[in-house]
Amino acid sequence: MAVVAAVVAVAAFRAAWAVGVLGLPGARPLVKEIDPVLHRDRLEARGVQRRVLARLGDLPDGVMLRLAGEEAGAWLKWRGRLRAWTASGYGQSRSVPQATEVTVLTPACTVTVLAAGYVPEVHPTAVG
């Protein structure tokens, strides 16, 4: 059953990539076409993560971010709230004004895929 769910998730990701990144609904991008874009959007330079600033309200659910003034840690935007990431799952939940400027940790192309309708599966602690 897990294999079927993974296949469905990959198909959904590819479909959202086609719409959001390529602007070609119905296209079927291959992993070998997606991976270089993901790699480019992940890194500024060798070992340096690419990060951008954005307004929280402009970001879709599923994005990982960091709040201003934080040097470490990460938050998941999920169902209108932020959930603190921990190695054992998601911790505290909090509401933050939508106008808040945040540092986006998720690669830009993945943000686009999420905005195009891809809904990631999240750890059960994120939905509680």
Q: Is the pLDDT score of 36 beyond 80?
A: yes
pLDDT in tens, 89-105: 999 999 999 999 999 99
pLDDT at 1 over 80: no
Cα distances (Å, whole numbers) of residue 64 to 27, 37, 42, 118: 27, 18, 13, 15
d(CA 110, CA 127): 21
Task: Look at the block and give the residue holding tokens 């690419």.
Answer: 50
This prediction has a pTM of 0.93
